[in-house]
Structures are given as structure tokens and as C-alpha cells.
Amino acid sequence: MNRSDFPLLGKYPGLIYLDSACTSLKPEQVIEAEASYYRKLGGCAGRSSHSLGRKTNEKLEQSRERIAGFVNAEPEGMVWTRNTTEALNLLAGSFDFSERKKVVTTVMEHHAVLLPFMRLRDRGVIELEVLGCDEEGRIVSEKWEQSVDKDTALVVTNSGNNTTGHRQDVAALSRLAHDNGALICVDGAQGVAHHRTDFRKEGCDFLCFSAHKMLGPTGIGAFAAKKDLLEKMQPFIVGGGIVKTLNLENADYMQGHSRFEAGIQDYAGIIGFAAACDYLDSLGMENVEEHERKLARELVEQLRNAGAEIYGGFSESSAALCSFNFKNGKPHDVALMLDKQGVALRSGFFCAQPAMEAMGAKQGAVRASGYVYNSVEEIKKFGEKLEHISALYQ
């Protein structure tokens, strides 16, 4: 893992960046790829017939194939979105609930999962069942098996949790959903960045993820769907570029991803997104996973040595992410003290208030999350700072 690829770490050489679950740092290769659109292309894809427009369109379709390939999804079923949140809203707003109305999800989801489907529930469109968790934030398989039935239209859950770092067995949940005639949507915001994701092998019907969590630009994400399912969905946002013909009585919408990509897209961000996939593949996702396991073990050890309460426990499949508190300490105070000592992390509920409260963190927590540019030595330094802070609350 080459830290010199990340300009921000060069600008702030003493920084210990442990906020990657919020957003990752960007390597020079991604920054340059994003800038290349403005420097070398600059055209309007899918619209302008001049050479710059054609070159831009070609580059974007290459990027679509690259990003789809990274998760082994169909390029024809991949829709550009601003982020995972928009992708989840696209699904909620476009899915046909006329035959089945039940949606099953869990208390451990991000607000981006809960809010779109809570709104549909409140409007009387769906019936929403939210599964509870155990004290470590895990959803036992029996709860899934009891809840997913022949009335279920959709199962929605994460592949990596943003409060505990736990991974879900997506393949098993896909089988359960499909055995009952239901579909599954995976929130991959915290999964795709940290372990190899295989859309087809894991049996996904829909997958939502963001570039900025995986070394890519902000403001660009993807909604990956099976092409035949995408064809059955109605456009979520309408506007230019999604119709074949239009008169004042009728709109003839395009097929595939094009009908969901109204307006000019983030061309530079898409190119940067593909470059992030290239960068992660150059590292090897198996190496990323192994590196994070080392970080996770050290992170848990340092937190325990400092007397912190860790939410969610730890397993060998966990990402390098821990939410924690000190007894009598306020999360925001702890985060600010660490910031003054050169450690960047997050405090609060992490856009997952029901999850944190379900694990007993009624006032929120502090979250440390590492990634490919962090080292075990950094985590040890972080631990030294934690011990000094812990002493204040004894």
C-alpha cells in the first residue's frame, strides 16, 4: 500500500486519517483521471455529434464497463447516480409494489435505506418489517427466515455495516429471498470498497454503491440491476436524454440504463470512478481485505487497552472499523480532543441512529475507520493518544 499516492497525506504528514467510513482519501491516479475530462475531452456525451462529444461518450461507456466489471454486474443494467443514497431512492421510487407490498430490512441499516421505505410505508404503498438485532448488532438468521415469506416483495440490507464493520452473508440472503419469490437489494456503500463483491455470484438483484467510499470522487455512485428488472421499472427522475420521442400527449422512453439518466451526468466523476476501480484492482481486493484484518485486530486491541466500550464486537471478517465510547465521556468531546492531536475520525450516530441506539449508544459514539493507506504503526500511535484521553475519564 503506497501512502505516497495520496496527496493529502503529503500535505499533512502527521495526520492519522481514520474517517474512511465517511469518505476515503483519493490517490493521485484518480485525481488525474478526473481532471483528464476537463483537460482532454470536455464534450457532451450521448448528445453532441462532434468529435469531442463522441470521444467523451466512448470514454464513459468504457468506464461503465469497467465499474460494472469491478462488481461483476451487467453494464447494460448500471445506472449513474450521485451516491448510494440516490440509488436507494431510485429503487424505492421506481419499484412496482402492485403485486406484493412487504419489504424486509433491519434496524442496523443506514438512514439511506430506512427513510425511503419508511416514507413509502407512511404513504400506504408498502408494509415495512424492520428486524431487530442482538447486543452486538447482528441479525440472526432465524429472524430473516421467519420474516421473508411469500408476501415479501423486496429484501434490503447492507453488505458491510457502517457502525460495526460486520459483513452480511449476501449469498444466503439472496437464496432466501429468491426461494420466496422476492428480490434483494444490497446497500454496498461499506462493502464494495472493502471486500470483493460479485453481483452475479452472490445473487444480487440490485446493488447500490458510491465512488467516494472506495478512493473515487464525491458526487458519483451507481445503481446496478439485472437488466430485465430494470426494464420493468419506471424512470425516477425525468428530463433530457431519456426519451426516444416526445410530444405533448406521450413520451416514448428509452430502454435500459438510459431511461434513468436524465440530464448531463458527472462525466469527470465517472472517469475518476473507473480509475478508482483500476487502483483497487492494482492492489488486489484480497490484499485489501488482509490489510484491513490486520488493522482491525490492532484497532480492537488498542481500544480494549484504553478501556473503551466497543459496539458490535469483532470477527475476522470485520472491516477496520470500530464504534466506541469511554465511560463518562461525550463522543464529540473525545473526537475533538483527538482532532487536536492529529487524528481525524467521526462522532455521532453515523446516519444510523436506530442501529446505535439498538446497541445501547443512546448518545452516539466515536467511530474509527481505517483503509488501504493506514498502517498498523498508525493504529498503535492512535492507541497511545486514546490512553491519555481515557485517563481523563477515570
Give me the residue spans of the domains in the chain.
3-18+284-391, 29-282
Q: Would you give the DSSP letter of residue 167?
A: B
- 98: CB partners within 8 A, 6+ apart: none
pLDDT of 394 above 80: no
Which cell goes with 323?
464504534
Is the model's pLDDT at 393 over the cut of 90? no
In this prediction, residues 8-24 reach a mean pLDDT of 97
Confidence of residue 268 (pLDDT cuts 50, 70, 90): very high
In percent, how much of the chain has pLDDT > 90? 95
pLDDT tens-digit profile of 191-213?
999 999 999 999 999 999 999 99
Residue 226 has pLDDT above 90, yes or no: yes
The DSSP string of 185-236 is: EEE-TTTTTTS---TTTTT-SEEEEESGGGTS-TT-EEEEE-HHHHHTSPPS
Query: What does the pLDDT read at residue 314?
Result: 76
Q: Determine whether 22 is an active site residue.
A: no
Mean pLDDT (whole number) for 237-262: 95
Catalytic residue from among 22, 204, 322, 351 = 351
What pLDDT sits at residue 272? 99
- pLDDT given for residue 48 in this prediction: 86
Task: Reply yes or no on whether the pLDDT at 181 is more than 80.
Answer: yes
pLDDT, one tens digit per residue, over 315-329 is 777 799 999 999 989
- 67-119 pLDDT tens trace: 999 999 999 999 999 999 999 999 999 999 999 999 999 999 999 999 999 99
Query: Is pLDDT above 90 for 313?
Result: no
Of the options 3.40.630.10, 3.40.50.720, 3.40.640.10, 3.90.1150.10, the CATH number for the domain spanning 3-18+284-391: 3.90.1150.10
Q: What is the tens place of the pLDDT at every residue in 344-384? A: 999 999 999 999 999 999 999 999 999 999 999 999 999 99
Q: What share of the chain is helix, strand, coil (3-state, %, to 5)?
A: 45, 15, 40
| Domain covering 29-282 assigned CATH 3.40.640.10 in the classification | yes
Q: Give residue 318's pLDDT.
A: 78
For residues 238 and 368, what is the distance between their CA atoms, to the nearest angstrom?
39
Give the per-residue pLDDT at 46: 83
Q: Do 370 and 20 touch, CB atoms closer than 8 A? A: yes
Q: Are 183 and 206 spatial neighbours (Cβ–Cβ below 8 Å)?
A: yes
pLDDT in tens, 233-247: 999 999 999 999 999
